């Protein structure tokens, strides 16, 4: 069987998101290419049955997005990934993999090697062909990831930019299919007077002035593209990580939690584990909110800070919820919390950032240029809640400065 190029001449033009499908199953290749071919703004430029076939087609095929299966003959996806990125550095690779334990480990390794995001794939052809949830997730992911420009090799310190619209679909593949409930309006938040705001001359989002309180807790929220961004942030935070506990809400299925925590431990050089209900928060430890439920922080009557788990029904489709984590940090730590919002689809985190800002806590967000999808950080910036907009490496350096009491 040979690679099959596709060209939909009914939707030519630079606006179309060019997609290549790589899977050893002819059924999966056919379904994915048909669904995407029926989607306005998407052009399927080819289907391939192995990693070697897509590598041979690059860079000529010039796909914006490559949907990559991991378990394939001839050359598997994990082996092919770095070769794909070397030949087509502007392409975004979305791993489409099963949710077995083995598949989750391979997927996490692919994210650490440069894959942009992942999409859980049903376990058999029948489920793939009949799952409306999977089809909806696929289309939403392609439109969201394909709607932004390629990441720069070296992330410069950017100027603030006008907020771009968030993903066309509110569905996140990291959570069960549901329509998110509207976030509480942020209009009730009253920012500092205009004279105190650092407005970008290009008309970008206004930034809040920094508060001078040294943080005693760091909370981080992320979704699409988050694993890579988190590693970059934590690597730069290494000099100050031992000072405070760090709690992370990354949208992902439950099976990924322990695996991702292990990778964070390896890259950060500190203890990292999934959060456990009732466990005290300890400085120098990274706590990852488990998928499928929500993690919050609480202050007990004796002054001890602990983690608490809430049922998944407590808030919308995002599991874990960044809003709930940020809001609980505001309630428990007040202005002694530092929040970092990284790349991701949707608005999760904006309501929580509102509560943090009201309590005088600093909220710093990833800039548009380095974000895979500027939904979560862009929404917070648009609401006037951010103190800084920076790429992940600079956010990590800024966090160190704040933890050491050096306010910009």
Taking only the tens place, the pLDDT of each residue in 166-186 is: 333 323 333 333 333 333 333
Report for 108-122, 301-315, 391-405: range of highest mean pLDDT: 391-405
Query: Residue 32 and residue 97: Cα distance in Å, rounded?
Result: 13
Q: Is the pLDDT of residue 338 over 80?
A: yes
Identify the CA nearest to 217 among candidates 282, 303, 277: 282
Q: Is the pLDDT of residue 152 over 90?
A: no
In 211-284, alpha helices (H): 226-237, 257-268
Query: Active site residue: 348, 355, 367, 379, which one?
Result: 348
Instruction: Give the tokens for residue 206.
Output: 């206004």
When pLDDT is averaged across residues 280-305 and rounded to a whole number, the result is 95
- Asked if the bond preceding 378 is cis, omega within 30° of 0, the reply is no
Q: How confident is the model at residue 72 (pLDDT cuts 50, 70, 90)?
A: very high
* Residue 76 annotated in active site: no
When pLDDT is averaged across residues 214-231 and rounded to a whole number, the result is 96
Task: Give residues with Cβ within 8 angstroms of 242, minimum separation 6.
Answer: 270, 283, 284
CA atoms within 13 A on the CB side of 288: 28
In 58-155, alpha helices (H): 77-87, 101-112, 125-130, 132-146
Query: Active site residue: 251, 263, 294, 355, which one?
Result: 251
What is the SS3 string spanning 317-349? Answer: CCCCCHHHHHHHHHHHHHHHEEEEECCECCCCC
Query: Active site residue: 175, 223, 312, 370, which one?
Result: 223
Q: How confident is the model at residue 315 (pLDDT cuts 50, 70, 90)?
A: low
Comparing 219 with 150, the larger pLDDT belongs to 219
* Residue 348 annotated in active site: yes
When pLDDT is averaged across residues 237-241 and rounded to a whole number, the result is 91
**Exposed/middle/buried for residue 191 (C-beta within 10 Å: 0-12, 13-18, 19+):** middle
Please, what are the domains in the chain?
Answer: 4-146 (3.40.50.2300), 194-403 (3.40.50.180)
When pLDDT is averaged across residues 113-137 and rounded to a whole number, the result is 88
Q: Over pLDDT 70: what percentage of the chain?
A: 81
* Residue 6 annotated in active site: no
Confidence at residue 202, expressed as pLDDT on a 0 to 100 scale:
55
Per DSSP, the three-state class of 221 is strand
pLDDT (tens digit per residue) in 6-17: 544 344 445 699
């Amino acid at each position: 069987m040979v690679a099959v190029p596709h060209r939909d001449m009914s939707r030519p033009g630079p606006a179309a998101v060019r997609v290549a499908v790589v899977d050893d199953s002819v059924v999966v290749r056919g379904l994915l290419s048909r669904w995407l071919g029926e989607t306005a703004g998407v052009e399927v430029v080819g289907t391939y049955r192995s990693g070697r076939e897509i590598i041979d087609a690059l860079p000529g095929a010039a796909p914006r997005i490559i949907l990559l299966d991991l378990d394939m003959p001839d050359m598997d996806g994990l082996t092919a990934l770095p070769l794909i990125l070397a030949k087509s550095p502007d392409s975004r690779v979305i791993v489409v993999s099963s949710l077995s334990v083995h598949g989750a480990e391979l997927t996490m390794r692919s994210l650490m090697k440069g894959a942009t995001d992942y999409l859980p794939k049903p376990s058999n052809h029948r489920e793939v062909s009949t799952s409306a949830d999977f089809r909806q997730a696929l289309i939403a992911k392609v439109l969201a990831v394909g709607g932004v420009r390629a990441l720069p090799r070296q992330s410069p310190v950017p100027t603030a930019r006008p907020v771009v619209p968030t993903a066309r679909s509110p569905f996140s593949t990291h959570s069960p299919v549901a329509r998110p409930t509207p976030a509480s309006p942020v209009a009730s938040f009253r920012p500092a007077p205009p004279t105190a705001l650092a407005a970008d001359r290009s008309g970008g989002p206004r930034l809040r002035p920094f508060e001078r309180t040294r943080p005693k807790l760091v909370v981080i929220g992320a979704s699409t593209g988050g694993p890579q961004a988190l590693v970059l942030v934590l690597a730069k935070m290494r000099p100050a990580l031992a000072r405070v506990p760090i709690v992370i809400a990354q949208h992902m299925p439950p099976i990924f939690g322990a695996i991702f925590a292990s990778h964070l431990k390896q890259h950060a050089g500190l203890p990292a584990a999934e959060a456990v209900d009732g466990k005290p928060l300890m400085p120098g430890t990274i706590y990852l909110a488990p998928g499928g439920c929500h993690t919050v922080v609480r202050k007990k009557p004796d002054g001890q800070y602990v983690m608490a788990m809430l049922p998944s029904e407590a808030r919308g489709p995002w599991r874990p919820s960044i809003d709930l984590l940020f809001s609980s940090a505001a309630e428990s730590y007040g202005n002694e919390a530092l929040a970092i919002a990284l790349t991701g689809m949707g608005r999760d985190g904006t309501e929580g950032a509102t509560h943090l800002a009201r309590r005088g806590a600093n909220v710093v967000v990833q800039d548009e240029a380095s974000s895979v999808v500027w939904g979560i950080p862009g929404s917070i910036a648009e609401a006037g809640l951010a103190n800084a907009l920076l790429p992940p490496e600079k956010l990590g350096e800024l966090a160190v400065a704040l933890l050491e009491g050096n306010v910009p």
